[in-house]
Structure 1
Amino acid sequence: MEEAEMLELYEVDYWDLVRFSSTNDSTSPPEKLESMTRTIMETLGPKGPGLLAVTGVPNASKLRKELLPLARKLALLNHEDRKRILKEHNLGSDVPLKNPDRGVSSFAMKLNYVKAPGTAESKPSPTEDNQLSSEEDHPGVDRITRDHHDEEFKNLGNTFKELGFCMMELGLSLARMCDRAIGGQELERSLLESCTAKGRLIHYHSALDGLLLKEAERRNRTTKRQANSTRDHTWSMRNGKTPSAASKLYESSARDRLCGIHFNLWQQWHYDYGIFTVLTAPLFVLPSHSPATQTKYPFLVSSDVEWSPPSGHTYLQIYDPNIKDVLMVKVSPESFVIQVGESADIISKGKLRSTLHSVCRPAALENLSRETFVVFLQPAWSKTFCVSDYPQKDIFLNGQVLMPSDEEAHLGQDKYKLSQEIQKVVPPLSSRLKDGMTFAEFSRETTKQYYGGAGLQSNK
């Protein structure tokens, strides 16, 4: 996919977005406001790509550089240290972090719309009720290593919240602009009624990361096996019995043996089902130490170096149904990307178009990792969707627009094959959305159809 055509996003200046989205602003030239609103709606509408960039956000560069490198460091920590740090900063995870074969590590927190960072009421809740162990539960943790980690991650929670609240405000400002063009205030109201958004710090693993995690898991199993062997031997000597056979070693699951379009993707093709998704421009990291050194001293990943893609793209790619092809998204490092989710598509009655997207791997740089921070803005779980005014053709085309007709086969075998492959993993909106559904019901049905019992995307 690295040969895909580049998509340079329409850029909105932060101060223009804030000023023009304000209902109290009377100083802005009406011609500029009208022009900007029209361009935004064209960009996010049915004929546009469904995403744009916001530039010039105050303090964004500093916060991004502080937060994003922590994603890989968290992912490669030993499990007990990571649990302790996540608990101290009120973070959770929605991926199985004990699985050494995972391709992504995600660290998440709920963010409240009303309160600002630093107030007693603003303390967000973890995204899931996973019971994280306290420091006292692990008295054997090495003091020097623990102090090193505490210093390295001391600002994790505060930086997460500060950047998260900034990105939430971008989404709210854009919602106001879109509401003004559509009529009413339903997008902004839907966001505020939800009370919270979900922030997620994401590390996309390199091949080296996989080796490091598997080596750490192997050492951990060896240590446990030795401890269990000693304990079982003592038990059998005392009781005159033979201990049971050891459990089988972990084997890679079927999802790690996928072929076709699954093989070269960090993240599979999908639509986000919220209102807006706000993303930082990603940070790419190449290791500055040999694999042997990193395996022995994993905390040295702090010396890894940032890498800039020669073409400047993000490895975020979208499928544009208007041209029936994949476009690679290109943005400046200091900008934020805002893309449309399916809820905004439904609420706006098709005036905004949700973005079908994935994240591809750089084929020639297998040891490159990707770090990003994402905030998902969604309606309240009780929000009811009315689809009577939603264009019926769009309900059926969303997710099916990819299937070329016989007349379109001349577009090329690669495009035809790609469309068919994406169709296999992207369930159409018509199969997930019913009139009168709440957002909770819609998200549950969407998750069910995307992810089968094995945790793989499926249209079953």
Structure 2
Amino acid sequence: MEEEEEVGILEPYELQFSDLMILTSDKPPSPSLLSEEIQRLESISRSVMETLGPTGPGLLTITGVPNASRLRRMLLPLARRLAILNASDRTRVLKEYGIGSDVPLKNLDRSVSSFAMQLKYRKGVESTSSKASHDSLNIEPHCSPMEEFRDSQDGEFKNLGNSFEELGVLMMEVGLHLARICDRAIGGQELEQSLLESCTAKGRLIHYHSTLDNLILKEAAERQQSTRRKSNQQSIGIERPNRTGNEVRISENSSNLWQQWHYDYGIFTVLTSPWFIFPCHKQTTRANGCFCTSCEIEYPSPSGHTYLEIFHRSKNIIQMVKTLPESFIVQVGESADILSRGKLRANLHSVRRPVNAEDLSRETFVVFLQPAWGKTFSLPDYHIKSSEITCVDEHEHGELGQQLHKIVPPLSSRIKDGMTFAEFSRETTKQYYGGSGLQSNR
């Protein structure tokens, strides 16, 4: 598949945040509630389960989330600024806010730069279980109180920590409420309680590099190496990535994909709709090395979609996801598939590079919601063979099936009865990216 025209377009089911809150309220229905409204809410709940279930695409969008638009506009442009910032200043800024990275940022050929932070609930299970709100979903400060910035460059990132955490809280809240809707349809509280027992989620601010971004990084490195050679110092080395979390590592290949095909292995993955940047000047930078402000203005998607693509198994097609700019995208992970006994279906997806727009970069913010590391999976009621999540038949699905069969390890090879989430995540990472993993050299 070389051209974007060869894939279909998916406009996911839209769930209004206001309806999400009504459906998950602990208050009993008002006697004055009209039967038409009750039927409407029941219809929404059914649509959610159909969308996230075995015959659906495995993802939906949440619209109308308070403050989502403001926080998205504050945070997403910072991904590119951080990615092209010189290494010493970037290290200092990330340390200031307690943010790390799980990709090798000194790899000048990387296709992404990723900036990650663990988000923690402040008050634990009891308070969040009784009331999923901004009051109970506040998270522990991950870094020391803000000090006055040392120079104007640091001032560009003055909202980084607060925006990262505040947007992360919103997305965690969305995931908890959606889990409650699914639990009520399935029966029990398995999904919501699994999230609450974890008390943590991983936030990740991601910059998908354009060709120009990599050129700029290499030119900056060459200048730095030239200076170091004059001082008889060694040139830049390559860092080894520290990969943790409940998602598959982002691919660093030079193919037509920014991110290789994979399944997330947590419960839900909540994403912002992406922010695209197209540089107004090919190689013009300010004296401090940062791009002019106009380069950070949101640029319309050239194709009108997000470049997030899914394999819609029940329809046997690949679809590009098209969403409203201010919406959240929620995808089902393999843990939700297992815990729901197949009532929810994990979503196979990748991120495609745009055709004929090599200078376009893509920014997004993602929160991975997972069970506690010690959560034990019980499989007697979950029939892996009959509802194999990650085994796409190489003959049934032609060329794509052959490709996926070679790079996506089947769930049955990674999960065993009684395995903890920590063991499952380690085995999954090993089979994707270990020394002999299916994507270890991709």
What range describes the TM-score normalised by the shorter chain of this pair? 0.7 to 0.9
Residue 23, structure 1, aligned to residue 26, structure 2:
yes
TM-score relative to the length of structure 1:
0.83
List aligned pairs for 1:333-352, cutoff 5 A: 333-352=325-344
Return 268-277 or 14-23, whichever deviates more. 14-23
CA contact (8 A) 2:333 2:346 kept: yes
Aligned to 1:431: 413
CA contact (8 A) 1:426 1:459 kept: no
Aligned to 2:276: 284
TM-score relative to the length of structure 2:
0.87
Aligned to 2:142: 124
Aligned to 2:346: 354
Aligned to 1:2: 4
Count residues in correspondence.
409
Aligned to 1:195: 199
- 1:181-211 Cα deviation digits (max 9, x unpaired): 0000010000000010000000000000000
Q: Distance in 1 between matches of 2:186 and 2:394?
A: 30
The correspondence for 2:404, drawn from 422, 425, 436, is 422
SS in 2 for 1:298: coil
The correspondence for 2:103, drawn from 73, 95, 100, is 95
Aligned to 1:206: 210
Specify the code of the residue in structure 2 equivalent to 1:2. Answer: E
Aligned to 1:307: 299
Specify the code of the residue in structure 1 equivalent to 2:115. Answer: F
List aligned pairs for 1:46-61, cutoff 5 A: 46-61=54-69
SS in 2 for 1:106: strand
The correspondence for 2:285, drawn from 273, 294, 297, is 294
Q: Distance in 1 between matches of 2:137 and 2:151?
A: 27
Distance apart, 1:454 and its partner CA: 8.6
CA contact (8 A) 1:105 1:205 kept: yes
Aligned to 2:173: 169
Distance apart, 1:247 and its partner CA: 7.5
Over the aligned positions, Cα root-mean-square deviation in angstroms equals 2.7
CA contact (8 A) 1:324 1:402 kept: no
Distance apart, 1:324 and its partner CA: 1.8
CA contact (8 A) 1:215 1:295 kept: no
Distance apart, 1:456 and its partner CA: 7.3
Specify the code of the residue in structure 2 equivalent to 1:341. Answer: G
- 1:254-286 Cα deviation digits (max 9, x unpaired): x9996xxx7100000000000000000000000
List aligned pairs for 1:255-294, cutoff 5 A: 263-291=255-283, 293-294=284-285
Tell me: CA distance 1:301–1:359, structure 2 relative to 1, closer, same or farther (3 Å): farther
CA contact (8 A) 2:109 2:214 kept: yes
CA contact (8 A) 2:97 2:142 kept: no
Distance apart, 1:24 and its partner CA: 1.7
- 1:351-378 Cα deviation digits (max 9, x unpaired): 0000000000002100000000000000
CA contact (8 A) 2:307 2:354 kept: yes
Q: Distance in 2 between matches of 1:118 and 1:301?
A: 39
Distance apart, 1:331 and its partner CA: 0.3
Relative to its length, the structure with more helix (as a share) is 1
Distance apart, 1:124 and its partner CA: 2.8
Tell me: CA distance 1:5–1:353, structure 2 relative to 1, closer, same or farther (3 Å): same
Specify the code of the residue in structure 2 equivalent to 1:62. Answer: R
Structure 2: gaps spanning 5 or more residues? 124-133, 239-249
- 1:319-376 Cα deviation digits (max 9, x unpaired): 1111222100000001000010000000000000000000000021000000000000
List aligned pairs for 1:16-165, cutoff 5 A: 16-27=19-30, 29-114=37-122, 122-124=140-142, 147-165=151-169
| Structure of higher CA gyration radius | 1
Aligned to 1:240: none
Residue 382, structure 1, aligned to residue 386, structure 2:
no
Distance apart, 1:295 and its partner CA: 8.6
Specify the code of the residue in structure 2 equivalent to 1:80. Answer: S
